[in-house]
Amino acid sequence: MTETARPIIQIQNVSKRFGKVTAVDNVTLDINAGEFFVLLGPSGCGKTTLLRMIAGFELPSEGQILIDGQDMAGIPPNKRPVNMVFQSYAVFPHMSVADNVAYGLKIAGVKGGEIKDRVAEALELVKLGGFETRMPDQMSGGQRQRVALARSLVMRPKVLLLDEPLSALDAKLRAQMQFELSDLQEKVGITFVTVTHDQDEALSMACRIGVINKGEVAQLATPSDLYEYPANRFVADFVGSVNIFEGKLTLDDPDKAAVDCPGLGKVYLNHGVTGPHGADVWIALRPEKIYLHVPGEGKAVKAAAQDAPDGFNFARGKIKGMSYLGDITLFEIELESGACLRVSRPNLSRHDQDDFTWGDKVSMHWRADSPVVLLG
């Protein structure tokens, strides 16, 4: 985050309708100068439409978009101070790498000598120095993407828009590019706005994330806030893996609360919720926040926790499913109520996966500050 949170893009009450379909529904959103902003959402949620409206390829049905304080209404894409990296990269196949990168500068009428310097600088920035004379069909997908990046960055835009930049890369390259994009953004200091449906991508790269659902902003937060304090069931479920239980708020004091869930039993919280008594709420509990006891260990922990019964939550169940993923093992545990709970357990030693087997009766606990109470 930059020291001054000056908005560079202001999206104000923007809606976009295609015939009867509302792709973007009354979105208001500020993107700050110098930040790495990610629009996250499932496919078809309207995030790409929002990006294309910033670029000028779609016009809002209602509302206005301001870039650096200037209203963009009536300004065509070729006159906007933003550049876009397309999902297909859209590298010009009949031009060499250098010609691709130089294209925008030539159109802008920059002088030949300066073009050469700036192209070299941009290619160096994306680690494609020495590739000037290559043709796009002689390059890999990852390299073509770098060409597209350089082609946009060379224009020194106020904002760089990236449409699903990593979706076409393989897993290893994607992880590497996540770091590189973050690095690049810090180095050039340009505001990046990325669209993605991949939560890992969003969490690892973003300063702030706007989660979009059905054309509306579901939540606007930093990656850790989004994960630890989801605002609603959609966000809790879309970002990361989660157990959600419906319940009623039965106790709501400033320093503690309790939710009675038919599926999970009584869940204690060490903070207030500020909701009406008896209201319908949902409890969201991340699988990694649940501690699974190896047989025999549970009793000792419970005994130790007797002094502070509200500090821990307990549950019992039977292992119904297990999947070993290497770094962690995922358990599906059938509770006494019949509901299922997903629990993940890190494999801290090389034998941890042997601690449990199908059908084992197990006990679990989680801290009173782990569950999130969702009102919507």
**Residue 111 touches another protein, criterion: CB under 8 A:** no
**Residue 76 touches another protein, criterion: CB under 8 A:** yes
**Residue 7 touches another protein, criterion: CB under 8 A:** no
End-to-end CA distance of the chain: 29
**Residue 94 touches another protein, criterion: CB under 8 A:** yes
**Residue 65 touches another protein, criterion: CB under 8 A:** no
Q: Which of 59, 107, 294, 300 binds another protein (CB under 8 A)?
A: 107
CB of 135 to another protein, least distance (A): 7
**Residue 251 touches another protein, criterion: CB under 8 A:** no
**Residue 55 touches another protein, criterion: CB under 8 A:** yes
Which of 150, 181 has the CB closer to another protein?
A: 150
Give the pairing of strands 36-40 and 208-213: parallel
**Residue 141 touches another protein, criterion: CB under 8 A:** no
CB of 39 to another protein, least distance (A): 18
**Residue 123 touches another protein, criterion: CB under 8 A:** no
Q: Which of 15, 30, 66, 104 binds another protein (CB under 8 A)?
A: 104
Q: What residue has token string 């996250």?
A: 40
How many residues are there in the chain? 376
Burial of residue 90 (number of CB atoms within 10 Å: 0-12, 13-18, 19+):
middle
**Residue 75 touches another protein, criterion: CB under 8 A:** no
**Residue 167 touches another protein, criterion: CB under 8 A:** no
Q: Which of 27, 148, 202, 235 binds another protein (CB under 8 A)?
A: 148
What residue type is 63 in one-letter code?
A: G
**Residue 137 touches another protein, criterion: CB under 8 A:** yes
Contacting positions for another protein (CB under 8 A): 55, 57, 76-79, 82-84, 86-88, 90, 92-94, 103-104, 107-108, 135, 137, 148, 151-152, 155
